[in-house]
Structure 1
Amino acid sequence: MRSYKIKIMPHIQRPKRPVTLVIIVNYHSARMCLDAAASVVAADALGPIQVVVVDNSVDAAEAHVLGDGLPEGVSLIVNPENRGFGVACNQVLAEYAPDMIFLLNPDAVIDPECLIRLQRCLVSDAHIGAVGPQIYWDAARRFLLPPSLPTEAMAFHGSLAPYPALERLLCLMWRRWALRVWKAVKPLRVWNLSGGHVLLDAAAVCRAGGLFDERFFLYYEDSDLFLRLRQAGYRLMVEPWAVVVHGFDRCARAEIAQKRQWMQESAGRFWEKHGAGTAGRFFRKDRVHLNLRSFLQAADRIWDGVLPGETASSPDAVFPEAFSMKVPAELSSGWLFEWSPNENFLPAAGCLGTGGALEFSAEDFALLSPGRYAARVGRDGAWFPEAVKFWIIKDDGIAKSRSTP
């Protein structure tokens, strides 16, 4: 893993009634953005808040919806061109001098007590630079979105591609970590957060080099910020009693392909700026010493023998629509239902439950972006879940659903 020189920050007395700047950047999501802004205006807070919505849509219809529908007191900036998420956030911050900065995606809504719980966590310790909430995917609050992957884990995971058993072990370790975050009952220190819903200490952001690096058009600008905060000696926390519902990937669904391209480009810029990390450089094939490579190959064979195989419900079990299914009796005391765009379930959304049946409702299915998702049901606390595996496929042309036994 990459090592950092940690700075010890002096104790700073934060104000008991902080001024909080809320920034919401809209991109072809005006109707949802109205709900996001309304949830902030209705939320409890320790001190005064100023809510600013920036419209990057370059669409008169979007600007009209926002201008007519935003709650009283919310400021609106309509940009004549879209220069990216980071530029829009920096644009707002340059006009204010807040104690705290709350960033919220336009497709997310917060609970009435979310903001004040985040604020209380932030003021509790001068070494905390950012606090994020517990993130639910659906309005019914059954599905939890995964904690953000730290940069070190991303680099390390990519380096394990030649060693499938070690890669799977890392994925199982991440499952354990996700469960720890999902089951937390008090603030928990983490390695990374999401810029889609986070409360930042403005002074800490300043000491870490500013809010966002404007070379990132969209995506990874938050990973860069949180890495800089950690390097500056600040902690990142999750406050589990602060709740946000983030439908995820609902903004500008017609431009999903373009968004994926932006993500790929931003990932490249991130690694250009920070390097692939010690793990990534260390495991490059042209640099790995023969003895080390032999050791990793041997370790991979050992773990391949230790990790049990997973039992699929059938070789091709597929659900192209809402479904319900039976849960094996041995899992009824406590199970975890996960779905992910990746077959290794890194990362994955999760639903904790008990009983003999689970349901993926029509409302859940409607929230999914088109694509193919790996899914499984296994023991919620086990290192090696005895999983029932299947696929959820949206808009793939399949005519009918096939049920599991």
Structure 2
Amino acid sequence: MSGVSESDIVLVDNGSTDGSLLNVKNRFQDIHLIKNKVNEGFTGGNNIGMQYALNRGYEYIMLLNNDTKVTTGFLELLIAEMRTSDKLAAIQPLIYYMEPETQIWNAGGKYHAWLGYSQTNYKVKSEKPYLTEWISGCAILVRSAVLEKVGLLDNKYFAYFEDVDWSLRMRKRGFELKVHPKSIIYHEAGASSKSEIKGSEGFLDPKVHFLNVKNQIFQLRKYCTSPQYWLAWPFHFAKFGFLFFISW
């Protein structure tokens, strides 16, 4: 991050028990470390880190998953675009799979209100930064001033779909979201949610299935009108069954 002035790295350890925190302390002494006693979830862990940054007056906060690999200059590109408009609340890089590196994992997303469905884009819409309806929690640069108006991630989600909720809340307040196609990172998708041994829920941790279903129902209730809610149910019921099937 040689092109970013006055930046700091904050690592939130979300209740790990494998001794990795001590290894980080020994190798990277300039990193700010926060140790949670228990796993606070994706939302709780990130919220603790964001509150730490807000208390210290940072202009921007970059959320970045620990199963990612970044490219040189990715953050500088995001910051430069954020400085073009105060209406821009947050921006994400173009996210590729770790393997194969040529396949896009997330290029932004579209939200279908009548189905309560968040669709992921797998194709780049433009060579320049472009607007999107929701952005991935895997990697988000957010404006701190926006958080004072919109709030942090909703801890009721714990993990999954909290990024869609956050995006919808930002857009509801009149802010914009973008994807920067020249800012690139790679993501080892599902690294934290898969089991090495196949169980009754396939290779996915059973908690992942639970959170996926629970949070989509929660999101339907939160954002859909009554007609939209009942129209969306058959679609989601079929989708839940399909996702359970392909996890095997």
How far did 1:53 drift? 0.9
Say which of 123, 145, 155 aligns to 1:179.
123
Mapped contact 1:54–1:78 kept (Cα < 8 A)? yes
Alignment counterpart, residue 209 of structure 2, candidates 245, 248, 260? 260
The structure, 1 or 2, with the larger RCO (C-alpha pairs under 8 Å, 6+ apart) is 2
The residue aligned with 1:57 is 15
Map residues 112-151 of structure 1 onto 2, 5 A cutoff: 112-138=72-98, 141-151=101-111
The equivalent of 1:360 in structure 2 is none
Contact 1:155 1:277 in 2 (8 A): no
The amino acid of 1:270's aligned partner reads: Q
Match of 1:275 in 2: 223
Instruction: Compute the displacement of 1:372 (Å).
Output: 4.2
What residue is the counterpart of 1:222 in the other structure? 163
Structure 2 letter corresponding to 1:112: T
Separation in structure 2 between the aligned mates of residue 228 and residue 53 of structure 1, nearest angstrom: 26
Q: 1:198 is matched with which residue: 122, 134, 140?
A: 140
Helix, strand or coil: the match of 1:283? helix
- In the superposition, the TM-score normalised over structure 1's length comes to 0.51
- Unmatched segments (≥5 aa) in structure 1: 1-42, 159-173, 286-340, 347-370, 374-395, 397-405
Q: Counterparts of 2:106 and 2:98 in 1: how far apart (Å)?
A: 13
Q: Is the 8 A contact 1:156 1:279 kept in 2?
A: no
RMSD (Å) for aligned C-alpha atoms:
3.1
Aligned to 1:92: 49
CA distance in 2, matches of 1:84, 1:241: 30
Say if 1:264 and 1:156 are closer, same or farther in 2 by CA, change over 3 A: closer
SS at match of 1:130: strand
- 1:246 paired residue number: 187
User: What SS is found at the alignment partner of 1:155?
Assistant: coil
Q: Per-residue deviation at 1:120?
A: 0.4
- Calculate percent identity across the aligned residue pairs: 20
Which blocks of at least 5 consecutive residues in structure 2 are unaligned?
196-203, 234-239
- Secondary structure, aligned partner of 1:109: strand
Say yes or no: does 1:48 pair with 2:3.
no
Do the aligned partners of residues 277 and 180 (structure 1) sit closer, same or farther apart at CA in structure 2, a change above 3 Å counting?
farther
Secondary structure of 1:94's counterpart equals helix
Query: Per the alignment, do residues 106 and 284 of structure 1 end up closer, same or farther by CA in structure 2, a change over 3 Å counting?
Result: closer
Instruction: Return the letter of the residue paired with 2:50.
Output: L
